[in-house]
Chains A and B, each alone.
Chain A
């Protein structure tokens, strides 16, 4: 068990190291000088003024140091939780920008991941044992998983937002409100949250439902099922066992899908101008804000790693096979 987690942690540690290194490397070896473009946006008239500012900001971002020093500084800053200063939102620290966006992204991601996972698995298991459901509703599942996140988002925005006018399609809460603990505000939050949530939920739901359906079908072929059936165990019990066992690979599946789901959330946020990390990434890209991009990227990587680790722990807790297997052999 300790070995198992040691190993996992090693992988995560290495992944983190690789991610950080890539992250550090890319802007430094790619064409384009962030300071130049920042000043270019500044649109200052006199070339002389520009020169002075350029020197100033280059030193400020540490681009004048030798590369190895920059790399070490990067790590040092990182460990202090300092992700640098956003160019686009100068002079806001990147970490502040991210912290402000994170609640929105988590607010979208966590419910949509968990709910779609639970509902999808329930539904998939349900469909797997009813031929008519399997044949009629499951195609819908396929269509849902095959839908690009943004397209479903666009369709929802168009149909429910623009045409029907039932839901707002931009922002996190009404522009006429300020954050407060009132019903109006919370209602507005929920209203703005619903469509992005729904589009994430639906796509993921389809995927889980199909995955579960296939898992259950395999599981119902397992030897222990045959044995139970031979002993006349009612279908109820068999299904309960099959469901429980089939859900375990789905837990691992959740870990594997996490990256995809996060990516989906990013794209969906963009469609709905939902002020989370996805929105931030897009802006950082469009504004060539390397520091913000780096920060967001790191944040997501860390988030995904932590989530993966949580899932690993959860998996060990629910599957006795891993527990003993690890104790003895692995």
Chain B
């Protein structure tokens, strides 16, 4: 069964393409910055230079290397995505598992909480909280994204847990004297691993998008670079009007490519895990 999944995984064009794109960007983000002996914000070149052999993506109004910013920015983007995604997935899982497994009033309560957070427009809440708190680091940004984007994941996981909870092997584990947290962890979660993974991918993608929006509005981290901040800076320094397309195209394209690849990967994985879809 495992091998079968792998077999399909390797043959699924969507999954492979998505994964390749993600890996390329990941490697670029991890290894790329080592190419430079200057920081992403250093004034290293002539201002407003178009892409050239020396500066692949051109330079900003200050003469910063856009390519360097892009590669460093990838790091931040991945970091926010992973941290935000992991946190949201973790909260979503805890809430979803507990609500789904426990049922009863615990479920009622958690479902209520979930619904409340769900109907609150997350980005707007983030805007407000960010504005007040003056969140200024990637970590805190990821924290807030994680804390607001979990509800749909929790809902989905709850529903899944609900159906798994009544499966006999769960009862059997209970008959073996296994305790609840362990049952959730060892019996239920592994059965949803593909689902959890899919959830995480989606949360990962949405965390990146939310972070980019926050950065763009100027509520992003003030130090360092991220793709969203690059967009923000490009807009603020009139890159559009000055025709510095090389400044605002790459970061947006980078985000789109990463998130798009994640989504495509998600569909691919779905097809791998879900035999019904494979026939398509």
Q: Do chains A and B touch in the complex (CB under 8 A)?
A: yes
Q: What is the interface of chain A, defined by CB distance below 8 A to chain B?
A: 11-12, 14-15, 18-19, 22-23, 26-27, 30-31, 131, 134, 139, 142-143, 145-152, 154-155, 157-158, 162, 210, 214, 217-218, 221, 256, 258-260, 262-263, 266-267, 270-271, 281-282, 284-286, 290, 293, 297, 300-301, 304-305, 308
CB nearest to A12 among chain B residues:
B119
Contacts of B125 in A (CB 8 A): 22, 297
Out of B127, B129, B132, B257, name the residue touching A281 (CB < 8 Å): B127
Q: Are B120's CB and A267's CB within 8 A?
A: no
In contact, B152 and A293 (Cβ under 8 angstroms): no
Chain A residues with Cβ under 8 A from B209's Cβ? Answer: 146, 148
- Range class of the B interface residue count: 35 or more
How near does chain B come to A179, taking the closest CB pair, in angstroms? 28
Q: Which residues of A contact B257 (CB under 8 A)?
A: 146
Q: Which residues of A contact B121 (CB under 8 A)?
A: 258-260, 262-263, 300-301, 304
Q: Which residues of B contact A221 (CB under 8 A)?
A: 276
Check A151 against B255 for contact (C-beta < 8 Å): yes
Closest to B152 in A: A256
CB distance from A94 to the nearest CB of B (A): 14
B252 touches A148 (CB 8 A): yes
- On whether the beta carbons of A263 and B252 are closer than 8 Å, the reply is no
In the complex, how many residue pairs between chain A and chain B have their CB atoms under 8 Å apart? 157
Q: B residues 170-212 with Cβ under 8 Å of A?
A: 205, 209, 212
Expressed in whole angstroms, the Cα–Cα distance for A293 and B256 within the complex equals: 30
Residues of A close to B22: CB separation below 8 A: none
Q: Which of B208-223 contact A (CB under 8 A)?
A: 209, 212-213, 216-219
Contact of B280 among A139, A217, A308 (CB under 8 A): A217
Residue among A147, A218, A267 making CB contact with B256, cutoff 8 Å: A147
Of the listed stretches B2-10, B37-45, B258-266, name the one at the interface; the rest are far from the partner chain: B258-266
Check if A266 sits within 8 Å of B263, measured CB to CB: no
Closest to B253 in A: A151
**B127 pairs with A146, CB closer than 8 A:** no
Contacts of A301 in B (CB 8 A): 120-121, 124
Residues of B within 8 A of A271 (CB): 235
What A residues does B235 contact at CB under 8 A?
A: 154, 271
**Contact across chains for B216 and A150 when beta carbons are under 8 A apart:** yes
The residue on A at minimum CB distance from B133 is A30
**B131 touching A146, Cβ below 8 Å:** no
